[in-house]
Structure 1
Amino acid sequence: MATTAAPAAHPPLEGSARILGTIALSAATFMNVLDSSIANVSLPAISGDLGVSSTQGTWVITSFAVANAIAVPLTGWLTQRFGQVRLFMLSILLFVVSSWLCGLAPNMTTLILFRAIQGFVAGPMIPLSQTLLLASYPRAMAGVAMAMWAMTTLVAPVMGPLLGGWITDNISWPWIFYINIPVGVLAASITWSIYRKRDTEIKRLPIDSIGLALLVLWVGAMQLMLDKGKELDWFHSPQIVAMAVVAVVGFAFFIIWELTDKHPVVDLSLFKRRNFWSGAVATAVAYGLFFGNVVLLPLWLQQYMGYTATQAGMVLAPVGAFAIVLSPLVGMTVAKVDPRRYATFSFAVFALVLWMRSNFNTQADFGTIMVPTIIQGVAMAFFFIPLVTLTLSGLTPDRIPAASGLSNFLRITAGAIGTSVVTTLWDNRATLHHAQLAESINPGNATAMATMNSLSSSGLSTDQVLGQINRLIDQQAFMLASNDIFYASAVLFIFLIPLVWLARPQMGGAGADAAAGAH
């Protein structure tokens, strides 16, 4: 692939233009990431209002995720067809229009369709905001640029449930989509005024329609399998087996086609680079573990610890505190310190946090649950910036959008897989623990008998006593299942550390390499 000359012609931005550019790009990223989590706590309200079950309601989240995952790796190819700035502007404006349509949706079918469109047009936004931000800063300040970018991606997922819950409770659910309109219009206006003369060269590439069709086929089949798996009892269902076969066969054909096509829609040759594949795979697996546990914690708190959606959101909120404070420090020093050391530290802290959670019991109070969440902010600050630096290290400017798109695709897909695997394992482990705990309720267990006698003497019937005992066993079983998953995740984070050390960053310029597009 020929290196485009366009990025080299533009020097880094300076003064107020750089500050405004950073704010506009960060606002667009924030709006995009926020939308992946803002609907989570609003699902009961949306499902109730549109007259569908909560299971059908989850498609509001997954339709966005599937379409987004398909669009993200197309960024490199689309950039060459339209130019970085034009594509970024188009992505923001179409996102604003689709957000408006989501708010107006009269029924669940149209809402899911508009959410899928919203997810698809949002695809190029995150990789391109990363690329444009790197090009706005001098080579030596690449780490600072990444810190600014990482802060928005760290804070938005935490803000989503809090903001979504507040809007749903105090206004109405369509406003979780309408709030994107002013943010998007403002971000687009500032971006166009600053970046319109800094666009990249356009190449009239043919459309790889077969590659695109295969991508849609295998990602769609895999996501459907993950979404419907638990509901249909996984591989005991012919439907799930069929989707798994389509996903695997589609993926195999996709790989073969993309490696042999002259103008592939996804640049798989990036995997020839050791820094890219080790960094991208480490980021994806770690993010899958992290995201699965982020979904699990509020589920456990709301279903078995009596927390409301707002209280569960408050437990998760402090995760951004340390991340916001430490991210600029990581950004400023990542060019001087081996990024592999920072990533190792991040994984070690994640392991510590999950180990602390694996020691929770049903008596854990708000403060006890909050402590690991606060510490997790430290891990998050040292997570994105060093790993993005490693992944993009040594790439030429024209390949950064494709590399960023592909690594973000792996991260988003791993998040979906992590969520599905964690929630399925949680249910399975809880069933096992429930059976083991129920076996211990017998006349030989003095504590169980004393508890049953105490409940009977308070006026409860035999059925009510057994119901109460079953609820206590349920609470204990899901607590133990949560502990199992937290502990296993902690161990996996430790095992991920050697993967980071397979990368070979150029010392003293690791951060700058990622910013090759700045010249």
Structure 2
Amino acid sequence: MLDIYPVEQRGMAMSVWGMGVMVGPILGPTLGGYLTYYYNWRYVFFVNLPFGIIAVVGLLFLMPRVKQAATGGFDWLGFGVLALGLAALQIMLDRGEELDWFSNPEIVVAAILAGLGFYLFIVHIMTAKDPFIPRAAFRDMNLNAGLITMFSVGMILLASSALLAPYLENLGNYPVATAGLIMAPRGIGTMGAMMVAGRLTNKVDPRVIMLVGYGMLGLSIYMLEGWTPDVSVGYMTTTIIIQGAGLGFVFVPLQVVAFYTLSPALRTQGTGLLSLVRNVGSAIGISITSALLDRQSQVEHSVLAQYITPFARPLQSGGAVSRMLNPASPAGASLLNSLINTQAQIIAYVDDYKLMLLTTVPAVACLLLMRKPPAAVAAPASPAHAVMD
């Protein structure tokens, strides 16, 4: 799309394309919750089938055929070591929490293979004549800053979904379908922001739009820190819409600014890098926030439990409440433990949100490294799209 559309139309083109990239993961929990509640959780795994068929048919009949320019042979070695590193990293992230991380040999081996794969990939890029990803791509400051920013977007995009769904179901006691509906407005906020950002990208400095987006993300995360199990649906909806709009205001101009100074011949590799970094950021974000949530829940439970003794003054006040919460009775101890678990999880969620807020700091700093967009001058087509039927 960067090659087909002129500079003045790229913002709107990227906003339309970005809707599919961003809104899909956002609306996924809503659709998944509906299918799980009214049908069966197994249907969730087939939800991509009809959309995949439509996409394949559209590509076959609507996408123009292109003749690729002659390039060097495929770098199988570079591809292989990168695939090794990514596969091992994904296994480590997916199974780390289940296997107690590095206390299990499987996770240790996966970490070693991931480190080895990425090390060999870096060495190969620096030494190979025609590496899998050209070295010139990493010399572009806009692309490098865009990769860091996209990593942050990936972490917030899916990590927040992975946190919100269990929060609403376990602490808010909402049914699965209702929890999905509560999260749906984030997609509305994202789509609306993308359409606005697409129109403003060529009129306003895209870096300013991204700064506004990160401001909205920071505000939404700050609002999440104030959530309690009895928070109103209206407040939750407002928070989620603001977060979705923030993601939209960051994603669209980022897709444009990251390629402003990149050679047209490297756009294909740059696009692949952005998608890769977004997916890796999502995987790392989900793993870190899930592990931190479990750990902090246990830590906060132990901290709060030390104040629950038969000598605690609130439990000695007499009356029905003190008798119901009597730690000396099995029923009272069970109820107290349930209340402590709830409060410990709330504090753990707040710790996760603070971590997510910190991930936006380096991304905002990267906005200062991005070069100001040049004047709207049509760029030459990249070799991959130079000849079209």
* TM-score normalised according to structure 1 size: 0.68
The corresponding residue for 2:231 is 364
Q: Given the alignment, which residue of 381, 393, 401 partners 2:248?
A: 381
The equivalent of 1:116 in structure 2 is none
Task: Give the equivalent residue in structure 1 for 2:274.
Answer: 407
What are the Cα deviations for residues 343-368 of structure 1, in whole angstroms up to 9, with x where unaligned?
11111111111111112223323333
Q: More relative contact order in 1 or in 2 (CA 8 Å, sep 6+)?
A: 2
One of 73, 83, 88 as aligned partner of 1:216: 83
How far 1:308 sits from its partner (Å)? 2.1
* 1:70-85 aligned within 5 A: none
Q: Partner residue of 1:148?
A: 16
Shift of residue 177, structure 1, vs aligned partner: 5.3
User: C-alpha deviations, 1:124-149, integer Å up to 9, x for none?
Assistant: xxxxxxxxx33443331111101111
Q: Return closer, same or farther for 1:186/1:314 CA change in 2, 3 Å cut-off.
A: closer
Shift of 1:168: 4.4
Q: Matches of 1:485 and 1:460 in 2, distance apart?
A: 30
Cα separation, 2, equivalents of 1:172 and 1:482:
29
* Aligned residue type for 1:147: S
2:342 equivalent among 475, 487, 508? 475
Q: 1:448 to 1:158 in 2, by over 3 A?
A: farther
The count of residues paired between Structure 1 and Structure 2 equals: 385
Counterparts of 1:64-463 in structure 2 under 5 Å? Answer: 133-170=1-38, 175-176=43-44, 180-197=48-65, 199-203=66-70, 205-449=72-316, 454=321, 456=323, 462-463=329-330
Shift of residue 451 of structure 1? 8.8
Contact 1:336–1:509, Cα closer than 8 Å, also in 2: no
Q: C-alpha displacement at 1:369, in angstroms?
A: 2.3
Q: Distance in 1 between matches of 2:223 and 2:381?
A: 37
- Distance (whole Å) between structure 2 residues aligned to residue 452 and residue 273 of structure 1: 70
The Cα offsets for residues 201-225 of structure 1, whole Å up to 9 and x where unpaired, read as 2436423222222112111111111
Q: Give me the whole-angstrom Cα distance separating, in 2, the residues matched to 1:190 and 1:457.
A: 63
Q: How far, CA to CA, are the matches of 1:458 and 1:501 in structure 2?
A: 55
Q: Does 1:502 align with 2:356?
A: no
Equivalent-residue separation in structure 2 for 1:175 and 1:213 (angstroms): 34
Instruction: Identify the residue that residue 27 of structure 1 maps to in structure 2.
Output: none
Amino acid at match of 1:148: V
Inter-partner Cα distance in structure 2 for 1:172 and 1:343: 40
SS in 2 for 1:134: coil
**1:413-468 deviation line (CA, Å, top 9, x unaligned):** 01100100011111111111111110111234222445996374599992121111
Instruction: State the shift of 1:196 in Å.
Output: 3.5
SS in 2 for 1:393: coil
Specify which of 353, 360, 371 is matched with residue 486 of structure 1: 353
CA distance in 2, matches of 1:449, 1:363: 27
Q: Post-superposition shift, 1:169?
A: 4.5
RMSD of aligned alpha carbons: 2.8
Residues 322, 375 of structure 1: 8 Å contact kept: yes
Give the AA of the match of 1:338. Answer: D
Shift in alpha-carbon separation, 1:489–1:460, aligned structure 2, 3 A: closer
Q: Distance in 2 between matches of 1:351 and 1:458?
A: 39
236-245 or 201-210, which deviates more: 201-210
Identical counterparts, % of pairs: 27
Deviates more, 1:179-188 or 1:314-323: 179-188
Return 310-319 or 206-215, whichever deviates more: 206-215
Cα 1:262–1:313, aligned 2, differ >3 Å: closer, same or farther? same
Structure 2 portions without partners, runs of 5+: none
SS in 2 for 1:504: coil
1:239 and 1:396, CA in 2 relative to 1: closer, same or farther beyond 3 A?
Answer: same
Residues 204 and 486 of structure 1, relative CA distance in 2, 3 Å threshold: closer
- Aligned-residue offset at 1:171: 5.0
Greater helix content: 1
| Contact 1:393/1:513 (<8 A) preserved | no
- Distance in 1 of aligned mates of 2:334 and 2:289: 28
Q: Which moved more, 1:447-456 or 1:310-319?
A: 447-456
Alpha carbons of structure 1 residues 174 and 424: separation in structure 2 relative to 1, 3 Å: closer
Q: Secondary structure of 1:383's match? A: helix
User: What is the TM-score of this pair, normalised by structure 2?
Assistant: 0.89
